[in-house]
Amino acid sequence: MSVPSADPQAASPAPVFLPPPAPLLGFSAEEYRTRRQALRSACPDGIILLRGSTEDEAVSPGRYQQNSTFLYFTGVVTPGAFLVLLPPDLPAVAGLRGAAPDVREILYLPKRDAAMETWTGPKLGPGTEAEAATGVQKTADSSSVLGALMAWARRNSTLYLEAPFGPDNETSRVYQLMNRLKAQMPTIHFKDATDAIGHLRMVKSPAEIARIVEAIEITQAGHRAARAVIAGGDGRHEYEAEAAALQAFRSHGAGLAFGSIVGTGANATVLHYEENCAQMKQGQLVVVDIGAKSGAYCGDLTRTYPVGGVFGDREKEIYTLVLQALEHAISSFKHGDTLQDLTDKCKAFYKEQPQRAKDANGVEQMLDNFMPHGLSHHLGLDVHDVGDRLIPLAPGHVITVEPGLYIPSEGIGVRIEDDYLVTEDGLELLGPPLERGVDELEAALKAE
């Protein structure tokens, strides 16, 4: 994840609606096996432990969501689960009685609880049924995972966890787990698998890309619904456009990838604006930054629309510059560029422009002063998916490109965002093109 201030939705609340998950999220068991094998190859000298989320870690009240890394390696949404991957030289039976020695992957699941399932519905529990459903070699009761780890650690004391070091993480559940393990097994040696996991998750498989494109298509349906409200002109509210987008998402069985941003006039200059309660005035620009979450994957598209359907002169001037910045970033992309390089190119483009705007003190500034966020972030299971801004982009990465200009002194904010696949040849637009040129956008709004 990039630094919070770099992304427009970095502090957005968690999704409020999520679609029910399909078994293994619709991917093949083979795809998950390949991912687990790749992680074992990247961390060959120790045991790997991944912990799933527990229900009390719900990201929004009453809404449990599995953590994305656990989902990536298992497709399992059951709360309170663990995944253990063993190195080549460690017999599984050393930590798990009854396991065949050559078992390399064990999924720990909470035992089924008939009374609880009255409330929650059927859950996946340990046993052959879960092994068949998930394709994981062996399942076991999650209450036995610490004991098993201790037994294995006597033979191999290196334990990989997804545990980024730093002051923000020391109170996390994974640190609590590390402290418990360390107390019982002082010789245990922890290694952080975060980077290895990130490198795998960043490269999307064809099946994942197809899923992201579905989420983008549903996000586009949301945009068409929202812009029809905005085309209606003066007097409509931001929340009416937000509601129209949500209705389109839910009609396709999708949920929200993040809290929708619909900001008119000066609200469009607030990067994390989410109140969505103001009345729209004819001629104002409205930033609509929305994303559908479909089959666990996210879309993330922003368009900026003129209320009533026609751009004013200054609005058109600023909008056109933002669109040019986007096109410049795409066309100047070079193999090996990082997200930071893309941001730098965008800012350099703004800096070259003759236009000026006034800052909060009424002082004229060059336009690069009016884009406080980064140009891009990775996109996948999370809307701000794993991937640092300094890692060179490589084929299979999926990123957003979202230049903006935010000029509070004029009550004008513009952001345009599309999602791209990094290929050998450059950046390839994902999903069908959604109108973003001034003329085609005005024509589309007129037709609504």
Min dist CB 304 to Mn ion, Å, is 14
Q: Is 300 near Mn ion (CB under 5 A)?
A: yes
Give the CA count within 13 Å in the CB-facing half-sphere of 145: 29
Closer to Mn ion by Cβ: residue 126 or 413: 413
Q: Is 376 near Mn ion (CB under 5 A)?
A: no
Closer to Mn ion by Cβ: residue 235 or 433: 433
Which of these, 48, 53, 51, 26, lies nearest to 37 by C-alpha position?
Answer: 48
Closer to Mn ion by Cβ: residue 148 or 375: 375
Closer to Mn ion by Cβ: residue 110 or 263: 263
Closer to Mn ion by Cβ: residue 197 or 379: 379
Interior angle at CA 298, CA 296 and CA 303, nearest 5: 155
Question: Taking CB under 5 A as the criterion, which residues in 121-180 touch Mn ion?
Answer: none
Provide the token pair at 69. Answer: 């890394």
List 255's β-bridge partners, or say none.
293
Min dist CB 7 to Mn ion, Å, is 6
Min dist CB 254 to Mn ion, Å, is 17
Min dist CB 289 to Mn ion, Å, is 7
The window from 55-63, 203-211, 215-223, 395-403 that contacts Mn ion (CB under 5 A) reads 395-403
Min dist CB 447 to Mn ion, Å, is 27
Contact 201, 380 (CB under 8 A): yes
Q: Beta strand pairing status for 418-422 and 412-415?
A: unpaired
Closer to Mn ion by Cβ: residue 51 or 415: 415
Closer to Mn ion by Cβ: residue 217 or 300: 300
CA 228 centroid distance within chain? 27
Size of the site for Mn ion (CB under 5 A): 2
Min dist CB 63 to Mn ion, Å, is 21
Min dist CB 205 to Mn ion, Å, is 22
Min dist CB 303 to Mn ion, Å, is 12
The window from 156-164, 232-240, 247-255, 293-301 that contacts Mn ion (CB under 5 A) reads 293-301
Contact 233, 309 (CB under 8 A): yes
Tell which one of 51, 400, 412, 430 touches Mn ion (CB under 5 A): 400
The window from 89-97, 154-162, 334-342, 398-406 that contacts Mn ion (CB under 5 A) reads 398-406
List 138's β-bridge partners, or say none.
106
Closer to Mn ion by Cβ: residue 294 or 400: 400
The window from 10-18, 232-240, 275-283, 297-305 that contacts Mn ion (CB under 5 A) reads 297-305
The window from 28-36, 300-308, 328-336, 405-413 that contacts Mn ion (CB under 5 A) reads 300-308
Closer to Mn ion by Cβ: residue 152 or 370: 370
Min dist CB 202 to Mn ion, Å, is 16
Q: Is 382 near Mn ion (CB under 5 A)?
A: no
List residues near Mn ion by CB under 5 A: 300, 400
